[in-house]
Structure 1
Amino acid sequence: MAEELQSPIRQGAHDIAVERERVRRRRVYRLAGAVLAIEAWVITAALAGWPLFPRLPHVDPFLLTIVVFFVAMLLIVVLTTFGTSRSPHLTYRPEQVDVRLDDVIGIDPVKEDVRRSIDLFQTHRRFADQMGGTPRRGLLFEGLPGTGKTMTAKAMAAEAGVPFLFVSATSFQSMYYGATARRIRSYFKALRATARREGGAIGFIEEIDAIALRRGGMLAGAPAYGPSAASACVSSSSARLPGLRGTTTNAVISEGTGGVVNELLVQMQSFDEPTGVDKLYNRVVAAINLLLPAHRQIMQRRPGRAPILLIAATNRADSLDPALLRPGRFDRHLTFSTPDAHGRRALVDHFLTRRSHEVGLDDPALRDRIAAATNGWTPVMIEHLLDEALVNALRRGATTMSFQDVEQARITEMVGIGQPVRYTEAEQRLIATHEAGHATVAWLVAPNRTLEVLTIIRRGDALGLLAHGDCEEVWTHSQYDLQALVQISMGGWVAEELFFGQTTTGPASDLAAATRTAAQMVGAAGMTGSLVSFLAADRDLVSCVLADSAAREQLEGVLDDARSTVRRLLSRNRHLVEALRDALLDRHELIGPEITDVLERAAALAEARAARPALASAVASRVGEKPAA
């Protein structure tokens, strides 16, 4: 009730409902008129003795065959032409959509704006006529794949009670010249006709960047560097040579077709154009007005305001043509981000209610652990995780998933499927020492990070790896956090040097990760003295830092300091590396608490051994004391 009072435009009947009822009555009246006309003709023909259907004249079969042949050829040509111009959309009735806004979980900041957009859409006439506003005609959904853009658009159509015209932008494209623009025109024509026939319509264009890229040249995009880059890391041991593995710049080069973009821009301004009978009537009136004097002109029909809402989705909004993004076309931009901790917890609860699981998964603490361990995951990824957990349960002969099934599925999704590989004894010991160095440094310098997986089982290109992430959801990282990430990356390299006297090609990917993190400190965050940001150059950050002599020197300094710090740490804590190494050689993979348990036992044992000489010395001194006189 409070929500209704806070939103005056929700009071009274929705304009969409009123319009649908008016259109429905008009349709019933037309049908009744047609039935009455047919009934009148049948009664008149029966009374007058006329045949109900006129008799067909006699036609020579040979002549009929020729006529049918040429008519068929003409139809083939016409249908081929019109077939390439037909709108490729799919229409869903409101009752066919089985999702509502209550089913859209994890995007609460966006849902509130979506609800306001639905309210404006349903009360568009009052908003325009009584309040003098211009209703929203376009919404742009931007976000990563799987964040709920399409699902939200379907839910909006279901909530508004209007047809949903779904189309993928790639289906507009055609090999025939001009066919793409004709299909776009056909889609908007169908959208206008449906809105007038049904009292409203919502159109949805999936991946609109396929037809609406920026005009006037080519685009190139470079990866962004920000604090979120340090939220989850994987330190791995690779057998590839240095320089063969590293970061790649995701460059997208596209050349948009100006005619297609122009057609899309024009059609987005055509929502109020007359259609069907109104257009024909206006043409006839315009022809008659040419023969009439000025004071006898016949008024043409003014097009009514069509209740249309066009929604487009993309994950490349920065590459769209700027003319599309101005108000009047896409009036509102909604960003679908990955859900936060509360959103992920709500998603876990929502998905588990529909999937069979053991009673243990009803424990709030376990569900909180799943939500915390999926930081940065999209709703689709979380749903897929639970599906994979069900697969794991099925493989072990159970019909309900357990927390262990979820953990195993998460590890597989995060680091890949383990591949059996036969190491030599020396190589297995080297890889175990390398990964133990990573984990030991992470445990010593980054208590705010969770050690998730430590393995020497080959996964992908990595012969072994350490997966670790933030204990809590954070959006910024301090200088100490980034220094810790550089030091963790150096852990494997230093461990090889301490225990074997030399290094191998394994740390190549670790050095690349350390260089990227250190470049962020030097060239973007101003953590090494210079306030110049190389991000302003709109180029790859690492390349900019390496090309500048002063910045490269600072970068080398960060890496050298990290290596020296890690060498001191591991030299004093060789027993921790050895304990983890031996555990890896025995079990090959340690998960979560298993890693910290090994480290804590090794640390406690070392403290006990250090305390024994002091205790023995104290006992000996007491035994040697002479009794008091």
Structure 2
Amino acid sequence: MENIGGNVPKGVLFEGPPGTGKTMAARAIAQEISVPFLVASASSFQSMYYGQTNRKIRSFFRSVRKAADKGGGAIGFIDEIDAIGATRSSMGSGSVREGVTGVVTELLVQLQSFDSPSGLHKLSNYLSNSLPAPMVALWTRLFPALPKGRAVFIAATNRASELDPALVRPGRFDRRVNFDLPTTKKRELIILGLLADRPTSQSALNAVSMIASQTAGMSHAAVARLVEEAAGLAWRRGSKVIDDSDLWNALATTQIGIAEGSPYPPEQRMRIAVHESGHAVAGWNLPGVGQVELVSIYKRGAALGLTARMNDKDQFLVTEAQLRSEISVALAGMCAEEIVLGQASSGAASDLVRATDLAVQMVGRFGLGESLISFDVIRTIGLNAATLSDAEGRKQVDAVLNGERTRTTELLIRHRDELDRLVWRLLAKEELDHKEIEEVLGISDSQSVDVSLSVDLKIDLD
């Protein structure tokens, strides 16, 4: 690279959500090129004594230089660098600001000069340049040139936007590598790779693609935890092989909580079955909301039931029709209670939060209401507060919610027979998979577009 005028990056910044493999990638790089790998957490530099943090930073960079000179190269890795490298402009005044800015300044100095010659190198160069030629030859034979290895520093952070601009400029961190959450295909490959070392049934392998579609938003670490949980569930039920039921139960356990059965009084058990059946019927008949894979009235943590929907594609954009269908599915539990039991209950609290949030985004962010004004430009408060505190914005959000409530009620009335059959089947079995749902509702014509795991009927104590 240097022969054609390029420079090897001095520093690399890994940024991305927690659990996406930043530390693992740094270790893999060091192992691949067989050089020493020195790790430090940013919090390990911090000290209660003034000036000690700076001293620890200098000591770490010195250790990396020595390791590089000795081994021909080295990688220094600082995890969670935002703990000591936050921007100085957002800090107040006084001794606290002085101490923190001093730490950032020390980082800047070290990153800028860590490849400069060390004291011994400077002495050797000075003597070589100042002594007469015969003495230089003798000096060179007695004291061969000191080895000078190349060191590269890698830092990881979950909050790159909070780092000081001088810290992340070219010349200090020349390259930034973004670690995104894995896509559906990558999650599927991660699960298959983790199951390859474990005894797994064919049914579990067949379910991997569906499980991967249900884990949108999960990091690599979260997916690995899911597989570990599935192995634990298989062991607890006395099996030596991981089954598909273990994967589904592990998914529900990691995202919601451990199933506790259905310890409800008869009238509440009926209401919960009606509520979940409403979500399932709406999701079954509305396009663009994914395929309904599981309906359950098992209690998991604060969630009294769930309706899981699957998508076979990653979603990068959503249309207005898809957003409206998602709102309809969210409101379907409440609407089903009103149709079958005559009135809704507090179990719709979390559904209303989700429906309102989607409607706010439609009106205040995506320009899908009556106005194209984006409330995201108001930086001082959040989108929800900005939209709902505006009289016209609140009116438009309310209109979206009421419109979808009417549409959902009409849909459930048209499919009242299927709704009733699903309620009684759910009361009898407590949990239904896709095949059992299809036996009751028939073939679904809805297209799998979005991914959602609806957690419904959370206890509202207010």
How would you bin the TM-score normalised by the shorter chain?
A: 0.7 to 0.9
The CA distance in 1 between the partners of 2:392 and 2:145, in whole Å, is 69
Is 1:549 aligned to residue 391 of structure 2?
Answer: yes
Change beyond 3 A, Cα 1:255–1:440: farther
8 Å contact kept, 2:210–2:312? no
Corresponding residue number in structure 2 for 1:437: 278
Which residue of 1, 4, 11 corresponds with 1:138?
Answer: 11
C-alpha contact (below 8 Å) 1:215/1:255 kept by paired residues: no
Match of 2:76 in 1: 203
3-state DSSP class of the match of 1:507?
A: helix
- Identify the residue that residue 54 of structure 2 maps to in structure 1: 181
8 Å contact kept, 1:272–1:303: no
1:571 is matched with which residue?
413
Question: 1:402 aligns to what?
Answer: 243
CA shift for structure 1 position 406: 1.8
2:356 paired residue among 499, 503, 515:
515
CA contact (8 A) 1:575 1:602 kept: no
C-alpha separation in 1, matches of 2:303 and 2:98:
37
Structure 1 residues 366 and 488: alpha-carbon distance in aligned structure 2, compared to 1, 3 A threshold: closer
Pairs within 5 Å for 1:256-335: 257-279=100-122, 306-335=149-178
CA distance in 2, matches of 1:155, 1:194: 18
Q: How many residues align?
A: 428
Query: Which amino acid is the alignment partner of residue 535 of structure 1?
Result: D
The reply on whether 1:372 has 2:213 as its aligned counterpart is yes
Deviations 1:171-223 (A, max 9, x none): 1111222111100000001111111111111111111111111112259xxxx
Please, what TM-score do these two structures have when normalized by structure 2?
0.85
Matched, 1:463 2:304: yes
Work out the CA distance in 1 between the residues paired with 2:361 and 2:223: 30
Deviation larger for 306-315 or 368-377: 368-377
Measured against aligned partners, the alpha-carbon deviations of 1:210-264 in whole angstroms (never above 9, x if no partner) come to 1111112259xxxxxxxxxxxxxxxxxxxxxxxxxxxxxxxxxx99911111111
Over aligned residues, Cα RMSD in angstroms?
Answer: 2.8
1:169 maps to 2:11:
no
Of the candidates 123, 147, 152, which is equivalent to residue 20 of structure 2? 147
Partner SS for 1:590: strand
Shift of 1:554: 1.0
For the structure 1 residues 602 and 192, does the alpha-carbon distance in structure 2 shift closer, same or farther, using more than 3 Å as the test?
closer
Query: Of the candidates 310, 334, 339, which is equivalent to residue 182 of structure 2?
Result: 339
Q: What is the aligned partner in structure 1 of residue 427 from structure 2?
A: 585
Task: Give the aligned residue type for 1:594.
Answer: E
Q: Look up the equivalent residue of 1:210 and give its one-letter code.
A: A
Q: Which amino acid aligns with 1:144?
A: P
In the TM superposition, 1:352-431 aligns within 5 A as 352-361=195-204, 365-420=206-261, 422-431=263-272
1:531 is matched with 372
Tell me whether 1:212 sits opposite 2:78 in the alignment: no
Matches of 1:601 and 1:339 in 2, distance apart? 31
Whether contact under 8 Å (1:450, 1:471) holds in the other structure is no
Closer/same/farther in 2, CA of residues 357 and 421 from structure 1, 3 Å limit: closer
1:41-80 equivalences under 5 Å are: none
Cα distance 1:593–1:257, how it changes in 2: closer, same or farther (>3 A)?
Answer: farther
Give the superposition deviation at 1:443. Answer: 1.2
Contact kept? 1:490, 1:511, Cα under 8 Å: yes
State the secondary structure of the residue aligned to 2:275. Answer: helix
1:570-615 CA distance string (max 9 Å, x none): 1222222212211222122223333333222999xxxxxxxxxxxx
User: Is the Cα contact below 8 Å between 1:212 and 1:260 reproduced in 2?
Assistant: yes
Deviation at 1:445, TM superposition (A): 1.3
Instruction: Classify the secondary structure of the residue corresponding to 1:139.
Output: strand
Q: Percent identity?
A: 41
Q: Report the Cα distance in structure 2 between the residues aligned to 1:481 and 1:447, rounded to whole angstroms.
A: 5
Q: TM-score, normalised by structure 1?
A: 0.64
The structure number with the bigger radius of gyration is: 1
5+ long unaligned stretches in structure 2: 132-143, 446-462
